[in-house]
Amino acid sequence: MQVMKRRSHPEGPFIFHRHVQSALVNARCIATVSMARARDFWTSRTTFRLLLLFVVALLLWATLLIPRLEQTALLDYGKIPSQVTIMQTEGRIEQMTYASCLMDAVDEAQIQIGDHDLMSLPADLALEPGQSYEVSITRRSEFTLMWSGLAIEAVSEPLTSVDLLSRSGYDEIDLSDGSRVEQPADDMLVYIAVDKREYRITEEIPFSKVYVDNPDLEVGKTEVVTPGQNGQRDLIFEEIYEDGVFISREQTGTEIVKDPVQEVISRGTKVVIKPIDRRRVGSTVLNSFDQIKPLLIENGRQNYETFSDNGDGTITVDGKTFVYESVSKRRITSYDGLEVCIHMGDHSPAINHNTFSGIPAQRGLVATYGKRIDGKIYPTLPMGTVVFIEGYGLGVIADFHAVHSNHDLLDACFDPGETLSGQALPTANRTAYILSFP
């Protein structure tokens, strides 16, 4: 709102004084001429008196007016201040000033005017001596609204955080999706748009295997009854973007797209007894024994440290996994070659005997039953068969025992003299796994 500027004469009464003086001089000249003409043209005495009376009155009026004009002319208006009242948020300031314009008066009051502040009167308003002026200053500041990375500059009077949110419209934004409004500074509001996207990774589900014993199928042979098929599943993730920038990814679920098909394998349990080929028995046993011997770890009566049945047709021994052909409970006994020699009285002093395969009796060799028919020996388990006996460990069928009453019995061999020193296994029924046939 602007106040109308009052009209004033820069030179004030001085100009008026000069005009009056000039008028008096002219009046005197007119009077003189009039009197001269009166003598020449007017002879009437009454007319002369009236004219004379008019001149006297005029001179009297001029005599009274001139002192007043001279007094007015002597006044120095430059010595008369203006009164300026300044209204602002910080308070009210009243001051007398000789400043020629309003802005100079504000500067004299040591009031800073910001680039965005508003004054109710023009800054260049000329101040008249002796006049009063009232001006209000509205403080305004610049603030920034950030929207998805874009900055919008605005100017307003100082606002509280609540008012700033309300005036900006940010308080009406739906923040249920995780978006948010932050105020990192008093003069800034930042809207961060959060975008949540679903991301999927497809992976295969390996099929499992199950073995079904088949008594009509020869031991060592298998047949696939139902082929296995891998399944498929989607790993579901939630990706979070802020203003289009990737922030994080978190798995939120799993969806089975296709179920795997379990593979069913028929495993033969029918033992087909074949006579031993004496020409090849030694090399067959030795070949199998060379495969397991590096794995034998003497651990008391055991040849291993850890063992587990994985429940899927495999066992793990000291970290190495084996697929087994069959598993059953068998009677387990123990012996060593020196103990046999002493018992039989074959040598004096006693020596360590060799096994049927020709390999000296030692840990890792196992005896099975052998039936003689027509001069040929038919073993219950073929020579060179790899087995695992719980409580003993890995072994290779390399010898025969003479327990005719139990053809499934296995006799676990120890190093020379170990059974005599108490290392032998207590006779018991133990779980035995047939790992492979030669």
Q: Are residues 61 and 109 in the same domain?
A: no
Dihedral of the alpha carbons of 214, 216, 218, 222, in degrees to the nearest 10: -40
pLDDT score recorded for residue 307: 96
Phi, psi of 20, deg, nearest 5: -65, -45
Q: How far apart are the two ends of the chain, measured CA to CA in Å? A: 111
Q: Are residues 165 and 238 in the same domain?
A: no
Helical (H) or strand (E) element with 61: helix 45-74
Please give the Cα distance from 380 to 410 (Å, whole number). 10
Q: Are residues 263 and 282 in the same domain?
A: no
Nearest Cα to 77, choosing from 125, 9, 5?
9
CATH label of the domain that carries residue 298: 2.40.40
Domain that includes residue 295, residue range: 272-436
Q: Are residues 236 and 155 in the same domain?
A: no
18 assigned to some structural domain: yes
Q: Are residues 228 and 245 in the same domain?
A: yes
Alpha-carbon radius of gyration of the chain? 63
Strand order in the sheet with 320-323: 307-309, 314-317, 320-323
Tokens (6 digits) for 229:
């098929």
1 assigned to some structural domain: no
Contact residues for 192 (Cβ-Cβ < 8 A; gap 6+): 179, 180, 181, 182, 242, 243
Domain end, chosen from 218, 253, 268, is at: 268
Nearest Cα to 112, choosing from 88, 92, 95?
88
pLDDT score recorded for residue 170: 66
Nearest Cα to 235, choosing from 219, 215, 216, 256?
256
Please give the Cα distance from 84 to 101 (Å, whole number). 11
Residues 179 and 204: beta-carbon distance below 8 Å: no
6 assigned to some structural domain: no
**Whole-model pTM?**
0.44
Residues 30 and 51: beta-carbon distance below 8 Å: no
Q: Give the DSSP per-residue string, 333-401.
A: EEEEHHHHHHHHT-SSS--PPB-TTSSBP-TTEEEEEEEEETTEEEESS-TT-EEEETTTEEEEEEEEE
Strand order in the sheet with 222-226: 209-218, 263-270, 222-226
Give me the number of domains the chain comprises.
Answer: 5
Q: Are residues 419 and 346 in the same domain?
A: yes
Domain end, chosen from 103, 120, 138, is at: 138
What is the DSSP pairing of strand 188-192 with strand 141-147?
parallel
Q: Are residues 58 and 87 in the same domain?
A: no
Contact residues for 199 (Cβ-Cβ < 8 A; gap 6+): 236, 237, 238, 239, 249
Domain end, chosen from 217, 235, 268, is at: 268
Which of helix, strand or coil describes residue 53? Answer: helix
Residues 107 and 57: beta-carbon distance below 8 Å: no
Residue 21 buriedness (CB in 10 A; 0-12 / 13-18 / 19+)? middle
Q: Are residues 321 and 413 in the same domain?
A: yes
Q: Are residues 302 and 421 in the same domain?
A: yes
310 assigned to some structural domain: yes
401 assigned to some structural domain: yes
Q: Are residues 336 and 408 in the same domain?
A: yes
pLDDT score recorded for residue 424: 86
Q: Are residues 279 and 172 in the same domain?
A: no
pLDDT score recorded for residue 190: 79
Token pair 């399944």 is found at 231
Helical (H) or strand (E) element with 195: strand 194-205
Q: Are residues 50 and 153 in the same domain?
A: no
pLDDT score recorded for residue 36: 57
Please give the Cα distance from 362 to 414 (Å, whole number). 5
Q: What is the pLDDT along the chain (438 residues), one digit of tens a residue?
A: 333 333 344 444 444 445 545 655 565 656 565 555 555 554 567 777 777 888 778 887 777 766 665 555 444 555 789 888 988 878 888 888 888 898 888 888 888 887 778 888 898 888 888 889 998 888 777 767 776 666 666 666 666 656 666 666 666 677 777 777 777 776 677 777 788 889 999 999 999 999 888 888 887 788 999 999 999 999 999 999 887 888 889 999 999 999 999 999 998 877 676 788 888 999 999 999 999 999 999 999 999 999 999 999 999 999 999 999 889 999 999 999 888 888 887 788 888 889 999 999 999 999 999 988 888 898 999 999 999 999 999 999 999 998 999 999 999 999 999 988 888 889 999 999 999 988
Q: Which amino acid is at 406?
A: N
Please give the Cα distance from 81 to 90 (Å, whole number). 25
Please give the Cα distance from 42 to 253 (Å, whole number). 131
3 assigned to some structural domain: no
